[in-house]
Every structure is written in structure tokens, then in C-alpha cells.
Amino acid sequence: MVQGTASPDTTAVYLKVGTGAYAKARLTGGVWKSSVGLTQGRNVVSVYAQNAAGVRGPEQSITILYGTTAAAATTDGGLIQVDGGTATPAPTAVVPDVSFVTEDKTVVTSSAVMISGTAVNAAAVYVKSGNGAFQKVKVEADGKWSVAMALAEGDNIISAYAEDAAKKASAAKAITVTCQVPVEFAFAPVTGSVEAPLYTLKGVSKNAVKVLLKIGTGATIEVKPAADGSWSGTVALAAGDNVVRAIAVTAGGMKSAEQNIVVTHVPAPAVNIDGRTFIISGTITGGTASSVFASVNGGQFITATGTTSWSIAVPLSDGPNKVDVYTKSAAGTITLVKSLQIVMAGTAGGKPEIIEKPGQGQGQGSSHGQGHGYGTIRLK
């Protein structure tokens, strides 16, 4: 019988004789015992201890001489009791260790997560995220530990190390946990077409710090959602269909899927004044004219309607216009009978007002008379 003592954290003792196989000894109250079979002569008995974590202590040995002296010889089948031959294995220095239960490269959709793991020979575990400070975590009796952590968006490197009662620390270990906060975004519907060239789009979002709006190749408009997630942004529209593209962005830079909405701009009717036509009219007395015609600012002749009573539509531009009226006799003689100064000066209140100022000069009341008077007709 070989016996000895073991340190308090020993859970098993194994021994062998010579080159034989190791056998497990009985261990009770820190004392281990085992019967061994010896051969004649010198027998080397090797023994080692092991703790709960499977850590093995250094091997120790004693030498037992069997059958070489009368005092040592027995006839009990080669089993002997060794007195004073105590072998006390000292396990390898026990060090704390830490492991993660939370898997590396885990993806979560909330910033609040629970990180867990196990530890051996540890009084406490210290855990941190990124460059933050380590926080102390309690290790339960079964070696398990867990801690609630607030993660930033994107990749978070979670580091942990264990520490034993003597403040000896293990090597740090790390895993990566990726936080992908879902970002939600929606347009308020647009009903019908829009007349105004500027239109305010509205919508709602979740977990977004900004909404980006863009039409075609135009500039991007950045809109900040309110505390309740509602947002609005004004865009400039071109005539026809306008495809507005939009995305929402979180504080960590994560983007929602792009959404589109079509806003149809139908401009209100508009009137452009490209030119103005003024009608002058009169009668021919004292003679007969074959035709009456006029020119504006020395331009082309415009033939009047009628001869005795006549009228001419003359095109006028903004500002002063010199209108000359001519007659042509049956004999083909062309005579300037009247000159007018007509000033087009815009409108007031949408209703024109005509002011006529008779010209100064002489003229005969016939188709052959000459007149050089100038009048002004102002259209307001």
C-alpha cells in the first residue's frame, strides 16, 4: 500500500509503477492511498495530482526495494505497506482563465445586449467594450458570469480577463459583436398633381438622425427628424413627373433601403405677352383714296380695311412707337396724312387706360392733304 497527501484543490491522484499504466488512487480528506504490485528488486512509483479544471501537477516518485532485505520482504502476493514513504504532489501553479459563451462575430439588432461566459480559478471577471473602462463582473459558484452592456452601432470589440483572489490576472480574450440597429423610413402619400414649383414632402422614420432627399442629379437635401421621428423637407419641382429618392441614416452611419416617390408638377397656366396690337381708325373726306395703310417705326406697310372708313391693327412694342398713316390715290399718289406717337407703358390693375393727346400741326381734310401732327396714346 502506497499512500500520501494532496493539496486542498486536488480532485484526483494517479500513480504507476515503472513503465506501467497510471491508475487512480483513492482520495479522502486530502489523503490518498493505493495498492501497487511490485516486482523483485527496485520499483519506481510515480504519482501526480490533478485539479477540477484538469490541470496536472508535477510528477513525483519514490523508489521501493522489494525482496532485497529480510525486513522488507513479505509473502502477501507482492503487496507491501510503505511506512514513511509519503509522496505529496504539488499541482502546477493554478492560474485563472476566462472564456466567452457569447459567440464571436455575433450580430444583434439592439444596443442593449447581455454578454456571458465562464471562468475558472477566478474571483472576478472584468469586461469592457472598445476603449471603454473595464467593469467588474461577479463569477457564480459554477464559474458562469454575465453582464449587460450598451453597444455602439457597428462592430464592438468585447474584451475580458479573469482575476483570482490573489489579484493574479489571466490573459485577456476578445470577441466582436456587431450592432445593427434597424432604421425605418416612410413617405407620406402625395395625392394628385402639384401646381406650385416648391413642394414639402413629409414622412416618418425610426432610429434615424437624418433623412436625405434628392431629385435626379440635383443637390441632396438633408432633413433632421423630430423627436417623434416625423420629418418634412421642401424640394423644387420641374414640370412633369419628379422622382424623389430618399434614405434615412442612423447616428452610426447605417442607411436604410432607398425609397422613391413620384411628385407630378403641373404648372398653373401662365400668359406671356410677346407683343401688343393697337387699332387705329378714321375716315377719308374731301377726296377718294384707293387704299389706306400705315407703318410702325418706319417698318413695313400695313394695309387698312376700308377706304372711306378705315381701320388698321398695328403691332406695338413697349415704349414709344411712331405710327405713320398714308393714303394712296386712284392716280397712285402716296401721301403721308397723319403721324402718331403711341407709348406702351404696361398695365395698371389689369385694365388698360388710354389717354390721347392731339398732335400739333396743320392738315387738310382730304386724301390729298398733308398732316404732320403728333399725338400720344398711352396704354396703362
Return the pLDDT at 63. 80
Residue 379: per-residue pLDDT: 35
- For the chain, what is the mean pLDDT? 79
Res 72: pLDDT: 37
Mean pLDDT of 51-57: 83
* Domain enclosing residue 209, as ranges: 184-265
Mean pLDDT over residues 237-249, rounded?
A: 92
Q: Is residue 270 part of a domain?
A: no
Range 21-50 average pLDDT: 85
Domain end (from 93, 123, 140): 93
One domain for residues 191 and 253: yes
Any bridge partners for residue 296, and if so which? 323
CATH of the domain at 238: 2.60.40.10
> What mean pLDDT comes out for the span 91-118?
86
* 72 in any annotated domain: yes
| Residue 29's pLDDT band (cuts 50, 70, 90) | confident
With contact defined as beta carbons under 8 Å apart, do 329 and 269 qualify?
no
DSSP lists the bridge partners of residue 210 as 249
CB 67 within 8 A of CB 41: yes
SS3 53: coil
Any idea what DSSP says for residue 255? Answer: B
252 and 298 in a single domain? The answer is: no
pLDDT score of 316 = 80
With respect to residue 71, please indicate whether it lies within any of the assigned structural domains.
yes
Residues 259 and 286 in one domain: no
Residues 82, 8 within the same domain: yes
Answer whether residue 118 is part of any domain.
Answer: yes
Residue 104 identity: D
Q: Is the pTM of this model over 0.95?
A: no
Which pLDDT tens digit goes with each residue over 137-157?
999 999 999 999 999 888 999
Q: Is pLDDT of 80 > 50?
A: no
Q: Of 179, 207, 241, which one is at a domain's C-terminal end? A: 179
pLDDT of res. 225: 93
More confident residue, 4 or 169: 169
In angstroms, the Cα distances linking 267 to 170, 290, 324 are 74, 50, 42
Domain-located, residue 227: yes
Work out the average pLDDT over 245-273: 85
Average pLDDT in the 15-20 region?
88
**148 and 174 co-located in one domain:** yes
**Residue 271 within a domain:** no
Q: Are residues 175 and 192 in the same domain?
A: no
Question: Of 46, 68, 93, which marks where a domain is finished?
Answer: 93
Claim to verify: residue 285 and residue 335 sit in the same structural domain? yes
pLDDT at 148: 96
Total domain count, the chain: 4
- Stretch 283-310: mean pLDDT: 84
Report yes or no on 364 lying in a domain: yes
User: Which helix (H) or strand (E) element contains residue 198?
Assistant: strand 198-206
Predicted confidence (pLDDT) at residue 164 exceeds the cutoff of 50: yes
In a domain, 336, yes or no: yes
Average pLDDT for 101-122: 93
The answer to whether residues 249 and 298 belong to one domain is: no
Higher pLDDT, 85 or 294: 294
- For position 273, what pLDDT does the model report? 55
φ and ψ at 28, to 5 degrees?
A: -140, 120
Closest CA to 297 of 274, 264, 266, 320: 320
